[in-house]
Amino acid sequence: MSQLRKNFRELLRYPSAIAGLFIILILVGVSIYALIAIPYREAIRLWRGGEEIWYMNPKNVPPEWINLFRRNDLPASFLLDSQSEEENIHGTVVKEVTPLSEEMTEVKITFSFDYPYEDYPQELMLYLNGSYREKKPYVAITIITPDGRELRANELSIDEAETYRFSQDQRLQRRLRGLAPMVGIFSVPDTDPPVILQGTYQVVLTGFTFEEGSDFNARLVMHGKVAGWAGTDHRRRDLSVALLWGAPLALAFGLLAALGTTVTTMVISAVGVWFGGWVDELIQRITEVNLVLPFLPILIMIGTFYSKSIWLMLGATILLSIFGGSIKTYRAIFLQIKESPYIEAARAYGAGNFRIILLYLVPRIIPMLIPTLVTLIPTYVFLEASLAVLGLGDPVLPTWGKIINDAQANGALYMGQYYWVLEPAVLLMITGLAFALLGFALDRIFNPRLRGV
Amino acid sequence: MREEKQPQPALLERTLARKKVADTIKRIVKYSAVRLVTLFLTIIVAVFLTIIIANMGGYVDEIRRGEIRENYNQQAAMNPAIRNLPIEQRRQWVEERVRLEEERLGLNKPFLVRTVSYMTNALTLNLGRSLQLTSDSGSRSVRLILLERLPSTLVLFGTANIVLFFVELYVALYLSRRYGSFLDKLIIALAPLNSAPGWFYGIFLILIFAALLKILPFGGMVDTPPPSSPLPYALSLMKHMILPMLALGLSSAFLAIYSQRTFFLIYSSEDYVEMARAKGLTSRDIERRYILRPTLPTIITSFALGLITVWTGAPIFETVFQWPGLGKQLFQAIGLYDTPIILGETVIFSYLLAITVFLLDFIYALVDPRVKVGGQGSASS
């Protein structure tokens, strides 16, 4: 234990190691947060749910904090729900129900939202839900601009689920004298080129229900030009889910692969050295064959022919990496250790072969293993990302590599949607750097040959 | 007197020198021959494993059967006597021939026999026809498609790695003389950047130099349309190689420089180096004879392993830079599920890896006089 503490204290002398450790701790923290705040099932639902989950978000928009770097703020996206009567930073909803007669009721829903932006939104829409037995509710939609104008949009009867898009309303367009509704609604009237009108807008739904117990509710959704803290992709998914969940997945894959490979390699080379003879020769030959087997193409073959499940990939990766070049290094060290007197003593007292291997040979090499392990982790993190970019990632899980794959497949770099590629790339880079920094410092401590150099 | 004595020692020296050269050649040839045979056996096992992995789900069989059936369907369509028969009879004609052919080729034989036959095909690069992809000339022969792409890959990776090798060596030597200097610390600080693969930096480099600064091309091998005369073609080629080489360098150079410089430092603290300095040899002589020579085997080994790692990243690397090589072909084949190409690429990569290993073992044998047959056995131990 004191040895561990001494090593740890020596580690802290390297500022790079401290930085690396710090970043790793943050990543672990984010992973734990992701696992708790968005449990697995919820994450899959958010990531693969389908249109019902994603309809709120605009397509392919950058994150909100981009507005910090821009002179003209891009409009944000938001949702106001009349059922919850919520108040968020974007606006408020008020619903008033006034019975007029025994059967008729007047329902008035007022959405008020602030519009301090300097660009037009992509789309503004209403999702209406009516509950009725035979007679559908009827509603008239009006927009009140900050300068007090009232724009009458369409009037419609509400089905159980009805979608109304302002930009597709012909009547509104006619009223706006031919301007596209998004431009027409949000501009100062009679300006050419159109000037944005900032202020508080109101969308008022004045409706009537014709049965007892009949009601309707609405959700106002604005598709701005920015959304969320991570932006959205081509299927309107919020990227923050994938960015958050990518952390535990990357860490888990990297750690499991690195651990599995190093431990197994260690044990195999110890076994080879201890038993000698044909076992040793066999391991050497297998290592040579493994050198010639092309690693990635074989993984690709397994991925395309069989299954892309991440467990299969993990297993195949470990299997192909066990007989790597490090077997020779360990072998050299084990050969030295094998001649030590205490091994001879163990043989004298009749210790079984595997007892000697596991209890005496292997522990001697563990200090050397630690820096190798840590430096190996980023290799596997990037391997998983590489597989995902190739299209062989796990089809269900949201990983960073998958985001890059989607971005690549949809031409993100050519369309100027840099955030789509940069966000996962930067995260990958940070993860790799953190482990590499830590691994280098550990290497300076644990590798005797590098001391003093 | 001098005139008389001189010829004799000179003659002796020349004879000794010639014998030394002859011995070296014999040693190298014997070593290379053994390595060649060993490597070939290794390839056989590797391709065997590849076929087994590929065929466990029966995919290679499917390809074979599909090919035969397509062949006979085509024949039936082209043969006027068969073409005009009613559908049932035509189908019967095709079925019978397909069955005979399958029996002839042994497709009904047990798994192992089939595997051996596929393996011999793969080893001789008889790789069949692709499902969808075609070569530039329109052929669907997998061998043609892949061999067409091979030179581009070799040009890129060969040039990049050789250039990087010499740059790294030079910088490492320079650094080993200036231990503790700012450049030294800078390289050490930048070393963790090497945990990311080449294609990763490729994306960033393209963003900066092609999209933002617009001074280097987005990708591809030469400008479109390609220049017709050799000199502009070569210049265009070199211009397109700058970013890929930079990306490869960023992902592997710092670590290599760091470890090489460490080796140089370790070896320069040896006693015989002290003695050489005491003798008064120049720095450059010391470096070349006493430091470089013993470290060269280790450096070459790590270079070899680095090369092999680079081959691994080739598919994505080439796709990011739109370089028309084997890697990009593999990437496309994956997307199209073009099984014969994927299998063929794996075999070709095996061959490339084996050739790389052999070349490096060969250079190793040239450089390290201790290496001989039956002595050390495997050179990279």
- Taking only the tens place, the pLDDT of each residue in A136-165 is 888 899 888 888 888 888 888 888 888 888
Contacts of A293 in chain B (CB under 8 A): 46, 49-50, 350, 353
Averaged pLDDT, A42-60: 80
pLDDT of residue A256: 92
Tell me, yes or no, if A426 comes closer than 8 A to chain B by beta carbon.
no
Residues in CB range of B284: below 8 A, 6 or more apart: none
CB contact under 8 A, A418 and B349: no
More confident residue, A84 or A406: A406
More confident residue, B360 or A204: A204
Weakest mean pLDDT among A86-90, B181-185, B297-301: A86-90
**Is residue A450's pLDDT more than 70?**
no
Structure confidence at residue A258 as a pLDDT band (50, 70, 90): very high
Among B146, B175, B195, most A C-beta atoms within 10 A, so best to mutate, is B195
Q: Looking at chain A from residue 261 to 300, which residues have their Cβ under 8 Å from any Cβ of chain B?
A: 284-285, 288-289, 291-298, 300
Q: One-letter amino acid identity for A125?
A: M
Residue position matching structure tokens 């419609």: A156
Question: Distance (Å, rounded) from C-alpha A18 to C-alpha B189?
Answer: 14
Contacts of B311 in chain A (CB under 8 A): 294
pLDDT, tens only, B209-221: 887 788 888 778 8
Question: Distance (Å, rounded) from C-alpha B233 to C-alpha B155?
Answer: 14
CA torsion A263-A265-A271-A274 (nearest 10°) is: -100
Sheet architecture: strand order including A87-88: A87-88, A91-99, A105-115, A199-209, A138-144, A150-157
Tell me the percentage of chain A whose pLDDT exceeds 90.
Answer: 5
Among A281, A283, A293, A427, most B C-beta atoms within 10 A, so best to mutate, is A293
Cβ pairs bridging A and B (under 8 Å): 135
**Is residue A374's pLDDT more than 70?**
yes
CB contact under 8 A, A305 and B339: yes
Contacts of B59 in chain A (CB under 8 A): 305
Among A290, A305, A328, most B C-beta atoms within 10 A, so best to mutate, is A305
Contacts of B56 in chain A (CB under 8 A): 306
More confident residue, A24 or B373: A24
Q: How far is B112 from chain A (nearest CA, A)?
A: 19
pLDDT of residue B374: 45
Contacts of B195 in chain A (CB under 8 A): 375, 378-379, 382, 432-433, 435-436
**Is residue B118's pLDDT more than 60?**
yes
Length in residues, chain B: 381
pLDDT of residue A99: 85
Question: Distance (Å, rounded) from C-alpha A346 to C-alpha B22?
Answer: 51
More confident residue, B380 or B153: B153
Sheet architecture: strand order including A162-165: A78-81, A215-223, A123-131, A162-165
The secondary element (H helix, E strand) that includes residue A370 is helix A362-390
**Is residue A87's pLDDT more than 80?**
no
Contacts of A430 in chain B (CB under 8 A): none
Nearest to B217 by CA among B197, B235, B200, B194: B235
Question: Distance (Å, rounded) from C-alpha B91 to C-alpha B76?
Answer: 9
**Is residue A447's pLDDT more than 60?**
yes
CB distance A156 to A133 below 8 Å:
no
pLDDT of residue A261: 92
Residue position matching structure tokens 């009879």: B89
| CA angle (A183 as vertex; A182, A184 as ends), nearest 5 | 95
Q: Tell me, yes or no, if the pTM score tops 0.90.
A: no
| CB-side neighbour CA atoms (13 Å) of B374 | 2
How far, CA to CA in Å, does B87 sit from each of A176, B65, B78, B82, B93?
65, 21, 15, 10, 10
**Is residue A451's pLDDT more than 60?**
no
CB contact under 8 A, B313 and A296: yes
Distance of CA B243 to the CA centre of its chain: 20
Q: Out of A304, A382, A440, name the one closest to residue B197 (CB).
A: A382
CB contact under 8 A, B191 and A288: no
Q: How far is A366 from chain B (nearest CA, A)?
A: 21
Distance of CA A298 to the CA centre of its chain: 27
Nearest to A45 by CA among A263, A193, A237, A176: A237
How far, CA to CA in Å, does B178 sit from each of A408, B184, B185, B261?
44, 7, 10, 10
pLDDT, tens only, B218-239: 778 887 787 888 888 888 888 8
Question: Distance (Å, rounded) from C-alpha A398 to C-alpha A378?
Answer: 19
Q: Is residue A1 classed as helix, strand or coil in its secondary structure?
A: coil
Q: Out of B39, B211, B337, name the one closest to residue A304 (CB).
A: B337
CB contact under 8 A, B57 and A306: yes
CB contact under 8 A, A418 and B207: yes
Q: How far is B100 from chain A (nearest CA, A)?
A: 28
Tell me the percentage of chain B whose pLDDT exceeds 70.
Answer: 94
pLDDT, tens only, B186-195: 887 788 888 8
Question: Distance (Å, rounded) from C-alpha B102 to C-alpha B69?
Answer: 10
Tell me, yes or no, if A325 comes closer than 8 A to chain B by beta carbon.
yes
Structure confidence at residue A253 as a pLDDT band (50, 70, 90): very high
CB contact under 8 A, B195 and A382: yes
Distance of CA B62 to the CA centre of its chain: 30
Weakest mean pLDDT among A248-257, A415-424, B360-369: B360-369
Contacts of B191 in chain A (CB under 8 A): 436, 440
pLDDT of residue B7: 58
pLDDT of residue B4: 53
**Is residue B379's pLDDT more than 50?**
no
Residue position matching structure tokens 């080449």: B198
Strand partners, A42: none
* Tokens, residue B244: 């890929």
Averaged pLDDT, B301-306: 77
Contacts of A437 in chain B (CB under 8 A): 192
Structure confidence at residue A257 as a pLDDT band (50, 70, 90): very high
Question: Distance (Å, rounded) from C-alpha B160 to C-alpha A267?
Answer: 37
Averaged pLDDT, B273-295: 77
Has the ipTM of the complex gone over 0.95?
no
Q: How far is A179 from chain B (nearest CA, A)?
A: 35
Question: Distance (Å, rounded) from C-alpha B290 to C-alpha B297?
Answer: 13
pLDDT, tens only, A279-299: 888 888 888 888 888 888 888
Structure confidence at residue B5 as a pLDDT band (50, 70, 90): low
Q: Is residue A99 classed as helix, strand or coil in its secondary structure?
A: strand
Contacts of B378 in chain A (CB under 8 A): 284, 288
Q: How far is B236 from chain A (nearest CA, A)?
A: 22
DSSP character string of A306-324: T---HHHHHHHHHHHHHTS
Nearest to B164 by CA among B264, B250, B234: B250
CB distance A75 to A225 below 8 Å:
yes
Identify the sign of the CA torsion A269, A270, A275, A276. positive
Backbone angles phi, psi at A140, to 5 degrees: -115, 135
Q: Out of B200, B203, B265, name the one closest to residue A453 (CB).
A: B265
How far, CA to CA in Å, does B6 sit from each of A403, B14, B15, B18?
78, 12, 14, 18
